[in-house]
Amino acid sequence: MTERSVTISNRAGIHARPSALIVQTASKFPCKVWLEKGSDRINAKSIMGIMTLGASYGTAIRIVTDGADEESAAEAILHLFETRFEEE
């Protein structure tokens, strides 16, 4: 189980395009990937889950991975957040 914390730094929050990027990245890894916002936990390999999470600018998100390759999966997702999903 690997955990990373991140704050959403792109102004538009997680809308369709960032969600698709997260799902694409998460699906490359065999491990389980979740995103947590407060007490909600959703599967990061499901696009509807990410979009309906309602993650707006400034929201604190926890990335949780579990299984084979969990370290690199967490890093890859974290990288997406840190590069603001190649936006702005």
Which residue ranges make up the site for another protein (CB under 8 A)?
16, 27, 36, 38-43, 45-49, 51-54
56 vs 83, beta carbon nearer another protein: 56
E runs forming strands in 1-88: 2-7, 32-37, 40-43, 60-66
Q: Return the number of the residue (25 or 43) whose C-beta is nearest another protein.
A: 43
User: 34: which strand partners?
Assistant: 43, 64
CB atoms within 10 A of CB 80: 18
Examine the residue annotation and report whether 15 is marked as an active-site residue of this protein.
yes
| Options 2, 6, 10, 15, the catalytic residue | 15
Cite the active site residues. Answer: 15
